[in-house]
């Protein structure tokens, strides 16, 4: 069965895009993106709340103590017990309501979710990601399931993945620091030369989405736009079979540069 990309190009999110759409985040197509969205909306709501409170105080007191109502000025250093108490309470409310809360929630998200990498039993789809000025290269293990062998599937710019499977990325860079960013999953992680970073995701909706570099990496940083192509399980297998077949002919295995990948340990 030939894999048909055109069917997936119908991404409803990208159609009918109006000016207002710029205010909304891209569609979340991951199982855990909502955790990041919650933090974002919580921080925004709390900031609006405290901003309103400060404005009410600023403009409210300016109005109440206008010189027409209070011709005799009142001077204070703000160091009376009541004033110190109110200032301290507002400071504590901001600290615990925003800083401590988002730190605690994001730490829990990291430990309980984003750092809970899929186990071997969960049979994650594994991908190696190589960033370089200015391109992404994705390396999929071929039929042998091993990385850095002659049957690996290498694709520039396009990342083909199945829906409803756990996917683990191991990421590195050839030159400078880049950042592998999937806006529709809210996830990003730095790609660092000489180091392997990790990220995992589970996708919920087939379609074609953006891949970006989220680290200013040079003059052609903007060229590091890739495509995340999310397939149904069936289409993914068809794509992989086709890509494996092509890899047999196209892989330049005499070139040592071909073997930039690495075997996966437990790190
Ligand atoms: Cu980059």
Question: Based on the domain organization, do 86 and 188 belong to the same domain?
Answer: no
pLDDT > 90 in the chain, percent: 79
CA 57 to ligand 1 centroid distance, Å = 45
User: What is the domain range of residue 172?
Assistant: 120-258
Which residue shows structure tokens 């180091």? 195
CA 179 to ligand 1 centroid distance, Å = 6
Question: Based on the domain organization, do 208 and 92 belong to the same domain?
Answer: no
Counting beta carbons within 10 angstroms of the beta carbon of residue 146, is it exposed (0 to 12), middle (13 to 18) or buried (19 or more)? middle
Structure tokens that stand for 20 in this block: 């207002």
Question: Based on the domain organization, do 77 and 125 belong to the same domain?
Answer: no
Domain closes at, from 114, 141, 171? 114
Instruction: Say how many domains are in the chain.
Output: 2
CA 226 to ligand 1 centroid distance, Å = 11
Domain closes at, from 56, 84, 114? 114
Question: Based on the domain organization, do 41 and 56 belong to the same domain?
Answer: yes
Domain closes at, from 114, 147, 166? 114
Question: Based on the domain organization, do 131 and 161 belong to the same domain?
Answer: yes
Question: Based on the domain organization, do 130 and 251 belong to the same domain?
Answer: yes
Question: Based on the domain organization, do 134 and 254 belong to the same domain?
Answer: yes
Q: By C-alpha distance, which of 118, 93, 115 is closest to 106? A: 115
CA 129 to ligand 1 centroid distance, Å = 12
CA 205 to ligand 1 centroid distance, Å = 26
CA 136 to ligand 1 centroid distance, Å = 8
CA 257 to ligand 1 centroid distance, Å = 20
Question: Based on the domain organization, do 166 and 252 belong to the same domain?
Answer: yes
The CATH number given to whatever domain includes residue 245 is: 2.60.40.420
> What is the per-residue pLDDT across 109-127, written as a single tens digit (0 to 9) for each?
999 999 999 999 999 999 9
The per-residue pLDDT for 1 is: 45
Question: Based on the domain organization, do 172 and 242 belong to the same domain?
Answer: yes
Model confidence at 75, pLDDT cuts 50, 70, 90, reads confident
Q: Per-residue pLDDT for 199 more than 70?
A: yes
Q: pTM of the prediction?
A: 0.84
CA 153 to ligand 1 centroid distance, Å = 22
CA 154 to ligand 1 centroid distance, Å = 19
CA 220 to ligand 1 centroid distance, Å = 8
Question: Based on the domain organization, do 66 and 105 belong to the same domain?
Answer: yes
Question: Based on the domain organization, do 253 and 143 belong to the same domain?
Answer: yes
Q: Per-residue pLDDT for 262 more than 50?
A: yes
Cα angle: 182, vertex 187, 190; to 5 degrees:
90
**Quick check: is 6 in a domain?**
no
CA 150 to chain centre: 31
Cβ atoms of 164 and 230 within 8 Å: the answer is no
């Amino acid at each position: 069965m030939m894999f048909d990309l055109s069917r997936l190009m119908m991404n409803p999110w990208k159609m009918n895009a109006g000016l207002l759409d710029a205010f909304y985040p891209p569609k979340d197509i991951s199982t855990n993106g909502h955790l990041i969205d919650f933090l974002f909306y919580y921080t925004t709501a709390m900031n609006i709340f405290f901003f309103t409170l400060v404005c009410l105080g600023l403009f409210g007191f300016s109005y109440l103590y206008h010189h027409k109502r209070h011709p005799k000025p009142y001077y204070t250093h703000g160091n009376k017990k009541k004033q110190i108490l109110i200032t301290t309470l507002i400071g504590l409310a901001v600290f615990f309501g925003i800083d401590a809360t988002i730190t605690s929630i994001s730490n829990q998200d990291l430990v309980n979710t984003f750092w809970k990498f899929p186990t071997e039993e969960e049979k994650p789809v594994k991908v190696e990601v190589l960033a370089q000025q200015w391109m992404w290269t994705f390396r999929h293990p071929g039929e042998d399931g091993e990385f850095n062998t002659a049957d690996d599937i290498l694709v520039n710019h396009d990342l083909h993945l199945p829906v409803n499977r756990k996917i683990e990325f191991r990421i590195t860079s050839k030159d400078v620091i880049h950042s592998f960013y999937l806006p529709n999953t809210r996830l990003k992680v730095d790609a660092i030369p000489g180091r392997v970073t990790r990220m995992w995701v589970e996708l919920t909706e087939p379609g074609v989405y953006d891949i970006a570099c989220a680290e200013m990496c040079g003059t052609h940083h903007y060229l590091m736009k890739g495509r995340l192509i999310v397939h149904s399980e069936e289409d993914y297998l068809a794509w992989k079979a086709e890509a494996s077949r092509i890899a047999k002919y196209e892989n330049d295995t005499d070139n040592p540069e071909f073997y930039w990948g690495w075997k996966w340990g437990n790190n």
